[in-house]
A and B are shown apart, each in its own frame.
Chain A
């Protein structure tokens, strides 16, 4: 409207034509339109990027800054703290935070928030920066459900994130060292997990650490695995120079745990539930500790345990499978007798396995005891008198069972081997003592007398008298035939003389038969004397039966 009027004022003469610009859409209006479009786009974007505002209740707002502290999930910022207020009774802190719309759908009843303070940094290489960047609020999204706008903040991070697969293990340490929640766990210097919880052991004797090993590395933890504190430097000056062991920089700064599994990974037994590993101070200590998994048993001995001290080996068929933990003396006030409880530790990992177990692990030992497994104290070294405990299968023992009444299972025992031998020897001597030696000797004597009687008197006399009779009868016969055959009688007489001479030579004094008989009698007497001497000797040296006659005298 304005311009045409001024243009018309341009010319003075009416004849001049009006130069009138055509009224058309000016391109210049595209500029504000583009600006409006950009503005609209920005506005829509801003609205779409605005998620819900939630309130989290914490006990303390330590480290939180309004407008700066971020809420992170998996290290991605999903929200920002807007205001920090105290509750009306001043007991709590109300933190309002603007959340990103990405996680709006996960703000349900089981969503968890916790303040991650300086310890956050642990483990990651980026951890060094977060060490300095201050606290943030960690978030664990909930399952899809009804959206909630008010949350109770946790004091500790949740032990396990829901979406990470893995397994939880428990370690026991003398002291915590530089470890804390979030400290990394390394396997072959690869980060495979982290510490999720730290607590004092119930009896105050140590610190219990819960660690979470992510899949698939949780399979690498076996019962033979040994954990050790990998924080700090390990400097050693040895004969062959200076040795410096350093963990990764991150674990050097913030501490960490390493573990290794001795033996074959495939055949190592898996970890039983509730198994507590020992956390060693360093790798050397972990190496030195031979077998970490131990089972404890109690043995009751009634005999002397001289030479049996803590640390003495427990052997099976001569192979060490454990050690003696303690030897005590127990006085039973009810029965007024002494017993010696010996606590032993058996390291089952020393025993290799084959085959498949049909029964449960706990009943294996019971079956073995039923098969005759017994504990026995034996002298290992005769010079020093050191004893050890030996487990063995004893055939034909009365069936006994493990007694579970005590603090530890009680294995049945049998007496010391030396004592057993002594007992046997004693029994043998007793048996010898009971032998009827006296009667035997008497029998032998009487037998000899009988021989003497037989040979010495009546029979010989009768024999001689018989000969005399025969001679007399011969004389009679000779007289009968005297007249008839004088010549023949003479001859007969001569022959009779000869016969007499022969008879004399056979039967007379100094004849060989009599001599032989006398010899026999003498030898029988000697034999009887020798038996008597033996009996005497045995009476005095009963062990001679076993060990033979010594070379005395």
Chain B
């Protein structure tokens, strides 16, 4: 760890007994809680927390749910293509393979990255961050923060696949000749994407840095 960060560690708001409102970002020095046990922002009335409440528990719960849903999302078909009476069921992986075999490497890569790499990466990174926070690890805090920013930005792009399926189902309605229907896998895949996005939101990256202060005391 570079020394500069350690000398400036007293400058963190928490260390200085300050916290910021989640909604209006006002910096407040909290006093005793009110009757209902909640600290409220004097400007906007939002509940005040020093850190996101139960961040680690919630994130863990959501990550585990997402991991569970990830299996049906990949094993069940996401599209059922009916072409001249013969139905074909495609999972995400078989779709990627189809595009690969048909020579559309670009599309195959996009779907592969958006639908397979990104969700797995997100879940893996979240797990890693949670574990590191719980272990109060000091290891590469800056890079870990960068990773967190990346998954927050990139997470929504996983919905690409769901959107593609939705658009195709709406467009390819050629009656008897050919129809595409959404398979049950889409629901689970959408659930994975949404749940990981929420998980990324509930995770409080400041907890990573709290490890430094805890060490200090």
Taken together as a complex, chains A and B put the C-alpha atoms of A10 and B95 apart, in Å, by 52
Which of A32-40, A110-118, A422-430 is the contact stretch?
A32-40
Q: A42-B76, A129-B85, A129-B176 are in contact. Are A9 and B69 (CB under 8 A)?
A: no
Q: Which of B98-106, B137-145, B156-164, B209-217 has 4 or more CB atoms under 8 Å from chain A?
A: B209-217
Q: A547 at interface (Cβ–Cβ under 8 A)? A: no
B46-87 to A contact mask, C-beta < 8 Å, 1/0:
000011011011100110111011011001100000001110
CB closest chain-A residue, reference B38: A19
User: How long is the Cα–Cα vector from A134 to B86 in the complex, in angstroms?
Assistant: 9
Q: Mark A10-52, 1 if CB is under 8 A from B, else 0.
A: 1110001101010000101111101110110010001000000
- Docked Cα-Cα span, A42 to B51, in Å, equals 37
Majority DSSP secondary structure for residues of A touching B: helix
Find B68's partner among A6, A7, A32 (CB 8 Å cutoff): A32
Residues A19 and B57 in contact, CB atoms below 8 Å apart: no
The interface residues of chain A lying within 8 Å CB-to-CB of B188 are 38
Indicate whether A42 sits within 8 Å of B61 (C-beta atoms), given known contacts A6-B210, A9-B217, A28-B54.
no
- Is A130 at the interface (CB under 8 A from chain B)? yes
A478 to chain B, nearest CB (A): 159
Structural contact, B84 and A129, CB atoms closer than 8 A? yes
In the complex, the answer to whether A10 meets B14 with C-beta atoms within 8 Å is: yes
CB B103 to nearest CB in A, in angstroms, measures 20
Q: Chain A residue with minimal CB distance to B211? A: A2
Q: How far is the CA of A10 from the CA of B14 in the complex (A)?
A: 6
Q: Mark B144-162, 1 if CB is under 8 A from A, else 0.
A: 0000000000000000000
Residues from chain A with Cβ under 8 Å of B68 in the complex: 32, 35-36, 38-39
| CB contacts between A and B, total, < 8 Å | 93
Smallest Cβ distance from A474 to chain B, in angstroms?
153
Task: State the CA gap A358–B53 with chains docked (Å).
Answer: 102
- Minimum Cβ distance to chain A for residue B126 (Å): 13
Highest count of chain B CB atoms <10 Å: which of A32, A42, A46: A32
The answer to whether A32 and B54 touch (CB under 8 A), given A39-B72, A129-B85, A133-B85, is no
A68 within 8 A of B: yes
Q: Is there an interface contact between A9 and B54, defined as CB atoms closer than 8 Å?
A: no
Question: A29 and B72: CB pair below 8 A?
Answer: no
CA distance A46 to B202 in the complex (A): 33
Output the least CB separation between B193 and chain A (Å).
14
CB <8 Å contact, A31 and B17: no
- Contacting A at CB under 8 A, from B18-69, are 19, 30, 32-33, 39, 50-51, 53-54, 56-58, 61-62, 64-66, 68-69
Considering residues B15, B65, B210, which has the most beta carbons from chain A within 10 angstroms of its beta carbon?
Answer: B65
Q: Are A6 and B50 in contact (CB under 8 A)?
A: yes
A32:B88 contact, CB within 8 angstroms: no
- Is B214's CB under 8 angstroms from A6's CB? yes
Contact B85 A132 (CB under 8 A): yes
Q: How far is the CB of A321 from chain B (nearest CB, A)?
A: 55
B110 CB to closest chain A CB, in angstroms?
25
Given contacts A2-B207, A9-B214, contact A39 B58 (CB under 8 A): no
Residues of A within 8 A of B75 (CB): 46
Q: Does B6 contact A (CB under 8 A)?
A: no
Which B residues are in CB contact (< 8 Å) with A26? 54, 57-58, 61
Which of A2, A31, A132 touches B61 (beta carbons < 8 Å)?
A: A31
Contact indicator per residue, chain A 121-142, by CB within 8 Å of chain B (1) or not (0): 0000010011011100000000
Query: What are 7 A-B contacts with C-beta separation under 8 Å?
Result: A2-B136, A6-B213, A9-B217, A29-B57, A31-B62, A35-B65, A35-B69
Q: Which residues of B contact A (CB under 8 A)?
A: 14-15, 17, 19, 30, 32-33, 39, 50-51, 53-54, 56-58, 61-62, 64-66, 68-69, 71-72, 75-76, 84-86, 88, 133-134, 136, 176, 188, 191, 195, 202, 207, 210, 213-214, 217
A6-B213, A35-B195, A39-B72 are known contacts; what are 11 more A-B pairs with Cβ within 8 Å? A9-B213, A17-B32, A19-B39, A21-B54, A28-B62, A30-B61, A35-B65, A38-B68, A38-B72, A39-B68, A133-B85
- Interchain residue pairs A-B with the least CB separation, the first 10: A129-B85, A35-B65, A32-B64, A32-B65, A35-B68, A28-B61, A28-B58, A39-B68, A133-B86, A31-B65
